[in-house]
Homo-oligomer: A and B are copies of this chain.
Amino acid sequence: MANRVLYDLAGADSTLRFSPYCWRTRMALLHKELPFATLPWRFTDKETIAFSGQGLVPVLVDGEQIISDSWAIADYLEQTYPDAPSRFGCNSGQALTRFINEFVDGVVHPGMARLIVSDIPHVLGESDRAYFRESREKRFGKPLEEITSNRDIEITAFRRSLEPLRRVLTKQPFLGGSTALYADYILFGAFQWARCTSTFELLAEEDVLFAWRERMLDAFSGHARKSPCR
Q: A residues near B, CB below 8 A? A: 86, 88-100, 102-103, 105-107, 163-165, 167-168, 171-172, 174-178, 181, 183
CB-based contact B95/A92 at 8 Å: no
CB-based contact B181/A96 at 8 Å: yes
CB-based contact A99/B100 at 8 Å: yes
| Cα distance, A145 to B56, chains bound together (Å) | 50
Q: Among the listed B90, B95, B105, which residue makes an inter-chain contact with A172, where contact means beta carbons less than 8 Å apart?
A: B95
Contacts of A178 in B (CB 8 A): 95
CB-based contact B164/A95 at 8 Å: no
Contacts of A92 in B (CB 8 A): 86, 88-90, 93, 176-177, 181
CB-based contact B183/A98 at 8 Å: no
| Cα distance, A178 to B92, chains bound together (Å) | 9
Contacts of A174 in B (CB 8 A): 95
Q: Among the listed B88, B105, B168, which residue makes an inter-chain contact with A99, where contact means beta carbons less than 8 Å apart?
A: B168
Contacts of A95 in B (CB 8 A): 89, 172, 174-178, 181
